[in-house]
């Protein structure tokens, strides 16, 4: 048992399901808002020039989709509160 009153195995199962639902929602083009925590979105990144750090050679970085997370103001405030002590 832990602070949440559940076993580690139950929590692992719950988290696995949560992330699967999150993935499905993002794949379907939906953003996911967790009130008091933040927002997850899938964004498109255009192709852009990059550079090989070893050789300095310019190489293209292909277009892709990335998951972004924006923390809510409530979460940011709680974190600041904790570290201000």
Residue with tokens 């600041």: 80
Q: What is the mean pLDDT of the chain?
A: 92
Q: What is the pLDDT of residue 19?
A: 96
Q: Which residue has the higher pLDDT, 51 or 8?
A: 51
Residue in 6, 65, 56 with CA at minimum distance from that of residue 15: 6
8-84 belongs to which CATH class?
Answer: few secondary structures
Residue with tokens 């997850």: 40
pLDDT of 3 higher than 80: no
pLDDT band at 1 (very low <50, low <70, confident <90, very high): low
DSSP code per residue over 30-46: --EEETTTEEEEEEEE-
Predicted confidence (pLDDT) per residue in 67-83, tens digit: 999 999 999 999 999 88
Overall pTM > 0.85: no
Q: Cα(20)–Cα(74) distance, rounded to whole angstroms?
A: 25
Distance of CA 11 to the CA centre of its chain: 19
């Amino acid at each position: 048992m832990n602070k949440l009153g559940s076993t580690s195995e139950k929590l692992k199962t719950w988290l696995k399901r949560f992330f699967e639902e999150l993935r499905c929602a993002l794949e379907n083009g939906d953003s996911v808002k967790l009130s008091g925590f933040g927002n997850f979105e899938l964004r498109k990144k255009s192709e852009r020039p990059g550079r090989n750090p070893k050789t300095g050679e310019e190489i293209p970085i292909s277009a892709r989709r990335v998951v972004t997370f924006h923390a809510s103001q409530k979460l940011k405030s709680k974190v600041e509160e904790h570290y201000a002590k």
